[in-house]
Amino acid sequence: MHLLSSIRALVALPLFAAVAVAVPADKPSRPGFVDSLEPSNRAQIARVVVGSEADLVVLSSGWLEGFRTGMACIVSEGNVRTGEILLVDVRLNHAVGLILNRPDDAGINAGNLVTIKTFSVSS
């Protein structure tokens, strides 16, 4: 019986050491697909619809990417902010936004990036 427990200890020690080396203690391992489960909170403008009273944009993403009706969003092209929209209709895979604010020197075009506007409170 004593010999059996000694053999188990000898076999378990290298296995434990291999696991301890393979998984760093400061950063737990996480499967790659986990990041795709969380919404990205960003979309591209698929179309710009020019109207007589107001202009609308159709987004390439919707509810699944974290967008909700009533959210204010920022439109940008590269690192340049080109305007703001208010989401007026959100469906599973697309959304429609009302263009609220557009600087005179910048345009809102198909392909522009849309992100949810967030506010930070400084203390």
Domain locations along the chain: 39-116
pLDDT in tens, 20-64: 555 455 556 767 666 667 788 899 999 999 999 999 999 999 999
Fold of 39-116: Thrombin, subunit H (2.40.10)
Round to whole Å and give the CA distance between 105 and 118. Answer: 24
pLDDT exceeds 80 at position 19: no
pLDDT of 92 reads 95
Round to whole Å and give the CA distance between 97 and 55. Answer: 9
**Per-residue buried b or exposed e for 41-58, using 16+ beta carbons within 10 Å of the residue's own CB:** ebbebeeeeeeeeebbbb
pTM for this model (two decimals):
0.67
